[in-house]
């Protein structure tokens, strides 16, 4: 659901009820400005972010791969296609 900031202000009670079912996008000056979500949805997002941060901190290799996935996959594909020029090199 998308509403203007004025509409959200005037119908705050309804917006609070609606965001329990789905996020409410609030527009200001014709552009998306904010999103109103339920506390449960917010808690789930915070928990998911904490897990992601913990994973990145505990496994820097995975964090690097997630950040540069396209490049790493491209390099691996090139190595698979052309082969290794040095036996000491390994696919990432």
Q: Residue 61: name the closest of 72, 45, 47, 75 by CA.
A: 72
Does residue 33 share a domain with residue 5?
yes
CA distance 8 to 23: 13
Cβ atoms of 39 and 63 closer than 8 Å: no
Does residue 36 share a domain with residue 17?
yes
Could you report the per-residue pLDDT of 40-88, keeping only the tens digit for each? 999 999 988 887 777 767 777 877 888 899 999 998 888 887 776 666 6
Instruction: Please give the model's pTM, rounded to 2 decimal places.
Output: 0.55
Does residue 38 share a domain with residue 5?
yes
The percentage of residues in the chain with a pLDDT greater than 90, rounded to a whole number, is 55
Q: Residue 92: name the closest of 81, 83, 59, 73 by CA.
A: 73
Task: Kindly report the CATH number assigned to the domain that includes residue 16.
Answer: 3.40.1620.10
Does residue 54 share a domain with residue 74?
no
Does residue 68 share a domain with residue 41?
no
């Amino acid at each position: 659901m998308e509403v203007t900031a004025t509409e959200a202000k005037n119908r705050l009670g309804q917006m609070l009820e609606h965001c329990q079912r789905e996020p409410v996008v609030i527009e200001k000056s014709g552009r998306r400005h904010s999103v109103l979500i339920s506390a449960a949805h917010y808690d789930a997002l915070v928990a998911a972010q904490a897990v992601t941060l913990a994973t990145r901190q505990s496994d820097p290799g995975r964090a690097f791969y997630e950040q540069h996935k396209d490049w790493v996959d491209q390099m691996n594909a090139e190595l698979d296609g052309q082969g290794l020029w040095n036996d000491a090199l390994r696919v990432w």
